Amino acid sequence: MKKTYHGSCHCGTVRFECEVDLAAPTSRCNCSICRKTRFWTELIPVDQFRLTAGEDELVDYAFGSHAVRHRFCSHCGVKIVGEGHMEPIGDFAAVNLAALDDASEAELAAAPVVYQDGAHNDWGHAPAETRYM
């Protein structure tokens, strides 16, 4: 069931709220940026993600096809969200679940994880090794 959660960066400058269903599949990917930042996400429609403070303090980073705009706090460096458009899902917000302030440890521990082989653009399959993700 979807629930409204609140989140923030480490220093608290950037804050947001979003509707996510932590019983729905979450994603861990081995593409170059997700691997280096240990990004754990849930994709949601863009209208279910709202910045509530600090939008002017975010910096953006995009690479490769520039399909996703990765948004970070310019003060503490915490990645808040990735925003983009990819077929067949359309416009999305990839919320950093680790930045949720009011998700309980039990909710996060129970969230199902789908592993994706973004390193080989094989998004529909898990990589052979996932323990490091």
Q: What is the pLDDT of residues 19-42, one digit of tens each?
A: 999 999 999 999 999 999 999 999
Q: pLDDT-based confidence at 88, cuts 50/70/90?
A: confident
CA distance 9 to 95: 12
Residue keyed to tokens 């996510």: 20
Q: Are 10 and 79 in contact (CB under 8 A)?
A: no
Residue 59 pLDDT more than 80? Answer: yes
- Which pLDDT does position 86 carry in this prediction? 80
Mean pLDDT over all residues of the chain? Answer: 95
Token output for 24? 């729905």
- Which pLDDT does position 67 carry in this prediction? 84
Annotated domain spans of the chain? 3-99
Top CATH class of 3-99 equals: mainly beta
For range 69-78, the mean pLDDT: 97
Q: Are 19 and 6 in contact (CB under 8 A)?
A: no
